[in-house]
Amino acid sequence: MKEYDYIIVGAGIAGCSVSYFLNKNSNSVLLIDKNSDLAMGASGAAGAFLSPLLGKPNNFKQLVSNSLTFSINFYKSFEENILNNCGVCRIPKDSEDKDKFQTYKTFMDFEYEKLTDGFYFKVGSIINPKDITTILTKNSETLFNYDINNIEKLEDEKWLLNGELKAKKLILTTGINTELIDEEYFSIRPVWGQKIDIETSTLTTMNYHKQCSISTVLEKKNDKNILSIGATHHRFENIQIKDINNTHEFYTKDIIEEDSNHLLTLANDIIKLENVNILDVKIGARACSTDYLPIVGKLVDSKKTIKEYPHLVNGSFINDDKLSFHDNLYVLNGVGGRGFVLSSYLAKMLVDNIIMNEPILNEVLPNRLFKRWVKKSKLNNC
């Protein structure tokens, strides 16, 4: 049996970011994934675009803006030239959207220029998922192709995985795979997406976003420009996959072909793509919370909390300091389609909380999900 100070389950961008910051404080960190390599789930299928969120002020928009500033500077801090800071043009999808864009001008968090079809933000960037996750974990101990069948809480408040790996603290960054958590309130909605890499004679010099996203030229190959286009949105409930490049019965060749053609149609509505050839297709499920905000921090122990405060099932309010939590169990999840914007910012926040007891933003704590679940369960029992 081997023991670690920290075990992280899930090697997407969230888990890799957590491992990076933990490794600055400990040499006893293990990163586990059921897949064969880093970023083999939603992170590997992501376009990894970094762009501002437009709209009127709210908690989520502020979080995205703070995270975007942090992540851009964070990725730039590495000696490797991994961030392509090419800018992004945000284009309204229709006349109604165009009117909304005009109202958003007062609330822009980043410098922009008006272009013919939309707004250009210099901060817009793109990053390669495999490159950044490899850099983040170059000092990490990793374990791939490892399925966790059993998690046990020990009397000394440590966690035992499969009867052979012990963790003083366990961090779950598992995306849509939440079966390891026995908490009904912890709900994730999978939104399946497809990304295609193409070669084309068309030259792009920035990222574009309308109803899909088109990247700047990522590389040149045989006098052709290599671009990424993403992403589609599907709801396939209760589907678990292993490795994004596997063929899955539920994601048929017909769906893949239809989605690829749909993405090309949407892309051509932004910029005319000539002499197109699809090079690669990747699919994955973005993990979204019910309120779109990410979920970061210690998990509330619902059974223990309700046992101590049974009046909660009648709709009574409780302060966060009265909640009971699972000892030494943390999550970073629900980053949705903005994983490469949010994850580094939230990972540092989580690690600062674990190491130095620094606060986590109230709006991303799991506490909110528990309170809504308790209130809803009361209503369902009426």
Residue 21's CB is within 10 A of a number of other CB atoms, namely 19
pLDDT at 382: 41
Phi first, then psi, for residue 14 (nearest 5°) are -65, -50
pLDDT at 284: 87
Walk me through the domains of the chain, giving residue ranges and CATH numbers.
2-40+132-188+290-380 (3.50.50.60), 190-285 (no CATH)
The rounded distance, in Å, linking the Cα atoms of 30 and 24 is 13
Residue 11 pLDDT class (50, 70, 90 cuts): very high
Peptide bond into 48 cis (omega under 30): no
Q: Is the pLDDT of residue 235 over 80?
A: no
Q: Is the pLDDT of residue 233 over 90?
A: no
pLDDT at 240: 58
Residue 303 pLDDT class (50, 70, 90 cuts): very high
pLDDT tens string 203-216: 999 999 999 999 99
- Both structure tokens of 75: 């990725």
The rounded distance, in Å, linking the Cα atoms of 273 and 290 is 36
pLDDT at 244: 58
Residue 79 pLDDT class (50, 70, 90 cuts): confident
pLDDT tens string 243-284: 655 545 567 788 889 999 999 999 999 999 999 999 999 988
pLDDT tens string 95-152: 999 999 889 999 999 999 998 779 999 999 999 999 999 999 999 999 999 999 999 9
- Both structure tokens of 328: 């030494």
SS3 41: coil
pTM: 0.94
Helix (H) or strand (E) holding 134: helix 129-136
The rounded distance, in Å, linking the Cα atoms of 366 and 295 is 6
pLDDT at 317: 86
Residue 316 pLDDT class (50, 70, 90 cuts): confident
345 CA to centre of own chain: 12
pLDDT at 130: 95
Averaged pLDDT for residues 231-252? 65
Handedness of CA 13, 42, 163, 171 (dihedral sign): positive
pLDDT at 154: 94
Phi first, then psi, for residue 234 (nearest 5°) are -135, 155
The rounded distance, in Å, linking the Cα atoms of 9 and 120 is 38
- Both structure tokens of 297: 């921090």
